[in-house]
């Protein structure tokens, strides 16, 4: 059982990591909040519900009135309609400003439920109960939101949870591509911030089947610690937080151009990270351990080249429309050395050239 | 020209009050923000647009690319559809995280545009340019939001503006009931917080036609100062901020039961304040200057009795569903003496009895 304190300018809260703690979520509600909670709304999806909803409910219904709302699994549930429907349900059930929202699921549920919580009656508390490895990244930091047909995560807020209750035993139900999606963010945290973590990950993880118990707890703890350190310095993404975007500028563009769901988020980010490292070598005229990272990623089952069916011009076009772009100029996180990165504005041409090379497998 | 500093835990900003400052809004954008702004979106309504949109635009378009979005005037524009449509427009026009939203209008526009700003790409800066007296209340404090068919202001956020640019010369276009709606909040501020302000208002204002120039500036300054003092202590309405609800528990219920638009917000609050004072006399067994306040309100054209067509049971039912109610218990702001109030839980029965009396004109 591990506990990690998160400090942001707007809130302090704990991430709890431990086997089987999903059965007793009510114990991790901070004491002052426990006394105020009038009712609980668990928001989850139809893949998670049959597996874990009852476990979580049992640990809450002895103390609170518990409501549940189940959305279809998948990115398409981060929609205005779903957002509106949950608000309607909450109003119909008489939930008030002291109701507590529990986000039980992966990143989609965390984002959707978190945005409901951020805006229901101008904000109610919520707790993240992640069920995927990928959610170790999204559940900390307070970014919540939904998609607009014109772009992912375009509507949202910063709303920190009251606690994150992380039970790694649920990972046993994760398919391989979900392991890869989540683990890519752990690798990212090591690459941008913590060279020691990079070595530790390389030493301990070359196969997803052995990640459980102590190893799973340590993986979560150390990876989340990086996220927490960055977010503590910059809650609202005005500065350093942008480095978390390493591998994401291209990764997002790949996801979009392939069509969402063809490649998982983390798998696309893995491709993006290799690309960012290659661009960094050019940009700074340095040498980085790209082959080593590629070999490790490949062993873990990741693709590391850009899918051949994608068009460099179209990818660049999409990268220029990224939320982090400024007046159409592409902003990328580049690596100066392992564990140290910075955000820079990059010209289109070198990006296009390198994209073309990478697509050709050069 | 007056300047008032507002300090909340999340932001510091200024309220600027002065004749004709709507022509030069760009001068009141805080300097660090000015350098970052990529474009400006003015959100206004179709009653305000013909009167003042061009004035505001002229003062911005020399420095920024300016977009505009005009919604139909009135409460029905605080809808999900309108909220979504503005987000769509902003995305189509390529507005980014450094775009600035200007809310040009009354409370409806401030709430709607503020909620768009609070959630567009997880939050962009916005500036309030109020065009009504009532907005002196809503434009300070950061409460933004939209309505749900099941309740007003049910979906929203706390999002503080970067500045409030208040030009009282626009009041000349206000109809009488809008004067009353806004002035009720000024009276409220005096009653809950500042007995000297109460005397000053009584001494200087018994007719809306003379409120301009120095008098208008002082009125805004002193009334907003109360709001600012309360909000500074309690940005997120966890405690003392709830006293701003004086007159509102019943006021909201009257608006809802009559049907929105039959009586202005402030006019309903005026009735609610007299009722709250009467209930306070009973509750604390004290004597308050109710007749004096009533006489003044009547002179200014307000109704002070509850509309005869309303049913006390239905009003109580609605009061119990108020956002501030806790588990169905009515919370009201009661007055201990002029300028001093507190929030208390009140039983239904005395409320019903007094409602019945008031409706009968007793």
Enter the ipTM: 0.90
pLDDT tens column, B136-146? 998 888 999 99
Burial of B26 (0-12, 13-18, 19+ CB in 10 A): buried
User: Residue A268: which pLDDT band, with cuts at 50, 70 and 90?
Assistant: very high
pLDDT at A259: 86
Q: How high does pLDDT run on average in chain A? A: 94
CB B115 within 8 A of CB B147: no
Chain B residues closer than 8 Å to A155 by CB: 87, 119-121
Burial of A32 (0-12, 13-18, 19+ CB in 10 A): exposed
Q: Bridge-partner residues for B260, per DSSP?
A: none
Alpha carbon separation from A141 to A11, A159, A278 (Å, rounded): 10, 8, 28
Chain A residues closer than 8 Å to B148 by CB: 87-88, 91
Indicate the residue of B91, B96, B150 with minimum beta-carbon distance to A148: B91
Give the span between the Cα atoms of B79 and A86, in whole angstroms: 16
> What is the three-class DSSP state of A336?
strand
Q: How far is B171 from chain A (nearest CA, A)?
A: 30
pLDDT surpassing 80 at residue B6: yes
According to the annotation, is B152 in a ligand binding site? Answer: yes
Alpha carbon separation from A262 to A208, A255, A257, A268, B173 (Å, rounded): 21, 7, 10, 10, 57
User: Residue A361: which pLDDT band, with cuts at 50, 70 and 90?
Assistant: confident
CB B359 within 8 A of CB B312: yes
CA-nearest residue to A320 within chain B is: B94
Chain B residues closer than 8 Å to A98 by CB: 326
Determine the number of helices (DSSP H) and then strands (DSSP E) in chain B: 13, 11
Alpha carbon separation from B362 to A355, B105, B356, B357, B359 (Å, rounded): 81, 39, 9, 5, 7
pLDDT at B229: 92
Q: Bridge-partner residues for A315, per DSSP?
A: none
The whole-number average pLDDT for the span A277-299 is 97
Indicate the residue of A120, A143, A327 with minimum beta-carbon distance to B122: A143
Indicate the residue of B96, B123, B327 with minimum beta-carbon distance to A325: B96
According to the annotation, is B131 in a ligand binding site? Answer: yes
Alpha carbon separation from B50 to A47, B78, B82, B104, B107 (Å, rounded): 53, 20, 20, 12, 18
Query: E-assigned strands of B124-269?
Result: 126-130, 143-148, 151-158, 163-166
Q: Token pair of B54, please?
A: 């061009």
According to the annotation, is B108 in a ligand binding site? Answer: yes
Among A17, A46, A29, residue whose Cα is nearest residue A102: A29
Give the span between the Cα atoms of A288 and A291, in whole angstroms: 8
Burial of B261 (0-12, 13-18, 19+ CB in 10 A): exposed
Give the span between the Cα atoms of B324 and B314, in whole angstroms: 17
pLDDT at B154: 94
Indicate the residue of B87, B154, B325 with minimum beta-carbon distance to A91: B154
CA geometry: angle at A133 spanning A101 and A171, to 5°? 95
Query: E-assigned strands of chain B?
Result: 2-7, 12-17, 39-45, 66-71, 99-105, 126-130, 143-148, 151-158, 163-166, 330-337, 340-346
pLDDT surpassing 90 at residue B238: no
Q: What is the DSSP string of A95-117?
A: --TTEEEEEEESHHHHHHHHHHH
Q: How high does pLDDT run on average in chain B? A: 94
According to the annotation, is B107 in a ligand binding site? Answer: yes
User: Residue A303: which pLDDT band, with cuts at 50, 70 and 90?
Assistant: very high
User: Residue A324: which pLDDT band, with cuts at 50, 70 and 90?
Assistant: confident
Burial of B160 (0-12, 13-18, 19+ CB in 10 A): buried
B176-359: CATH number: 1.20.1090.10
Q: Kindly list the residues of chain B whose beta carbon comes within 8 Å of any beta carbon in chain A.
A: 10, 38, 80, 84, 87-88, 91-92, 94, 96-98, 118-123, 143, 145, 148, 150-151, 153-158, 236-237, 321, 323-327
User: Where, residue-wise, is CATH 1.20.1090.10 in chain A?
Assistant: 176-359
Angle between helices A348-359 and A265-284 (to 10 degrees): 120
Give the span between the Cα atoms of A304 and A283, in whole angstroms: 20
Lowest pLDDT segment from A315-324, B29-38, B190-199, B268-277: A315-324
Give the span between the Cα atoms of A40 and A61, in whole angstroms: 9
pLDDT tens column, B176-209? 999 999 999 999 999 999 999 999 999 999 999 9
Burial of B320 (0-12, 13-18, 19+ CB in 10 A): middle
Q: Token pair of B245, please?
A: 């609800």
Q: Bridge-partner residues for B330, per DSSP?
A: B346
C-beta atoms of B150 and A121 within 8 A: no
According to the annotation, is B136 in a ligand binding site? Answer: no
Q: How far is A214 from chain B (nearest CA, A)?
A: 36
CA-nearest residue to A152 within chain B is: B121
CB B221 within 8 A of CB B278: no
Indicate the residue of A121, A151, A237 with minimum beta-carbon distance to B323: A121
Chain A residues closer than 8 Å to B98 by CB: 326
The whole-number average pLDDT for the span B36-50 is 97
CA geometry: angle at B19 spanning B15 and B22, to 5°? 70
According to the annotation, is B36 in a ligand binding site? Answer: no
User: Residue B235: which pLDDT band, with cuts at 50, 70 and 90?
Assistant: confident
User: Where, residue-wise, is CATH 3.40.50.1970 in chain B?
Assistant: 2-173
Q: Bridge-partner residues for A55, per DSSP?
A: none
CA B33, B38, B44, B48 dihedral sign is: positive
A2-173: CATH number: 3.40.50.1970
User: Residue A321: which pLDDT band, with cuts at 50, 70 and 90?
Assistant: confident
According to the annotation, is B132 in a ligand binding site? Answer: yes
pLDDT surpassing 80 at residue B317: yes
User: Residue B233: which pLDDT band, with cuts at 50, 70 and 90?
Assistant: confident
pLDDT surpassing 80 at residue A260: no
Tell me which long-range contacts B251-260 makes (C-beta under 8 A, separation of at least 24).
B252/B152, B252/B318, B252/B319, B252/B322, B253/B315, B253/B318, B253/B319, B253/B322, B254/B306, B254/B307, B254/B310, B254/B315, B256/B152, B256/B318, B257/B310, B257/B311, B257/B314, B257/B315, B257/B318, B258/B307, B258/B309, B258/B310, B260/B75, B260/B152
Q: Token pair of A200, please?
A: 């530790």
pLDDT surpassing 90 at residue B9: no
pLDDT tens column, A154-186? 999 999 999 999 999 999 989 999 999 999 999
Q: How much of chain B, in percent, has pLDDT values that exceed 70?
A: 100
Chain B residues closer than 8 Å to A154 by CB: 87, 91, 120-121
The residue assigned the tokens 């409320």 is: B351
According to the annotation, is B57 in a ligand binding site? Answer: no
Among A171, A132, A128, A102, residue whose Cα is nearest residue A16: A128
The whole-number average pLDDT for the span B28-49 is 96
Indicate the residue of A87, A97, A325 with minimum beta-carbon distance to B148: A87
Q: How far is B310 from chain A (nearest CA, A)?
A: 24
pLDDT at B324: 73
Q: How much of chain B, in percent, has pLDDT values that exceed 90?
A: 86
CA B352, B358, B361, B362 dihedral sign is: positive
Mutate to test the interface with B, among A37, A122, A234 (most CBs of B within 10 A): A122
User: Residue A261: which pLDDT band, with cuts at 50, 70 and 90?
Assistant: confident
CA-nearest residue to B123 within chain A is: A157
């Amino acid at each position: 059982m591990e506990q990690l304190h998160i400090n942001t300018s707007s809130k302090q809260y704990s991430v709890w990591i431990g086997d089987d703690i999903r059965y007793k979520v009510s114990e991790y509600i901070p004491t002052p909040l426990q006394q105020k909670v009038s009712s609980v709304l668990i928001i989850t999806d139809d893949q998670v519900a049959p597996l874990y909803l009852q476990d979580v409910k049992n640990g809450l219904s002895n103390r609170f009135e518990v409501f549940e709302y189940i959305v279809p699994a998948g990115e398409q549930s981060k929609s205005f309609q779903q957002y509106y429907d949950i608000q309607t349900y909450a109003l119909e059930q008489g939930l008030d400003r002291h109701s507590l929202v529990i986000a039980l699921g992966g990143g989609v549920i965390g984002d959707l439920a978190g945005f409901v919580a951020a805006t229901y009656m101008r904000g109610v508390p919520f707790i993240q109960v992640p069920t995927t490895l990928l959610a170790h990244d999204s559940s900390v930091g307070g970014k919540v939101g939904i998609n607009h047909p014109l772009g992912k995560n375009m509507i949202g807020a910063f709303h920190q949870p009251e606690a994150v209750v992380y039970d790694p035993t649920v990972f046993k139900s994760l398919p391989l591509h979900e392991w890869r999606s989540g683990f890519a963010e752990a690798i990212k945290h090591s690459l941008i911030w913590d060279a020691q973590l990079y070595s530790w990950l390389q030493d301990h993880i070359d196969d997803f089947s052995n990640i459980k118990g102590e190893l799973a707890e340590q993986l979560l703890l150390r990876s989340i610690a990086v996220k927490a350190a960055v977010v503590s310095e910059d809650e609202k993404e005005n500065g350093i937080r942008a480095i978390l975007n390493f591998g994401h500028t291209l990764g997002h563009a790949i996801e979009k151009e392939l069509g969402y769901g063809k490649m998982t988020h983390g798998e696309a980010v893995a491709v993006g990270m290799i690309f960012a490292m290659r661009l960094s070598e050019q940009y700074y005229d340095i040498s980085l351990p790209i082959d080593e990272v590629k070999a490790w990623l490949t062993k873990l089952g990741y693709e590391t080249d850009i899918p051949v069916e994608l068009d460099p011009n179209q990818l660049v076009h999409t990268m220029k429309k990224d939320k982090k772009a400024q007046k159409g100029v592409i902003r990328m996180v580049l690596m100066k050395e392992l564990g140290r990165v910075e955000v820079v504005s990059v010209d289109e041409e070198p990006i296009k050239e390198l994209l073309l090379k990478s697509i050709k497998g050069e």
